[in-house]
Amino acid sequence: MPAAWSRKVRAVLFDLDGTLADTAPDLAFALDTLLIEEGRRPLPYPDVRAQASHGTRALLALGFGITPKHADYARLHARFLEIYSAHPFGRTTLFPGMDQVLAGLAQRAIPWGIVTNKPSQLTQLVVAALGLAPHARCIVSGDTTPYQKPHPEPMLYACVQIGCAAPTCLFIGDSQRDIEAGRRAAMHTLAARFGYLRAEDDPCSWGADGVIDTPIEVLDWLGEAG
Nearest CA among 67, 98, 90, 120 for reference residue 174 = 98
Round to whole Å and give the CA distance between 168 and 16.
Answer: 20
- 73 touches 66 (CB < 8 A): yes
Beta strands in the chain (DSSP E): 11-14, 21-22, 93-94, 112-115, 138-140, 169-173, 188-192, 210-212
Round to whole Å and give the CA distance between 36 and 192.
Answer: 32
The torsion angles phi and psi of 197, rounded to 5 degrees, stand at: -95, 140
- 152 touches 172 (CB < 8 A): no
- 97 touches 215 (CB < 8 A): yes
Cis link prior to 42 (omega < 30° from 0)? no
Active-site positions? 15, 17
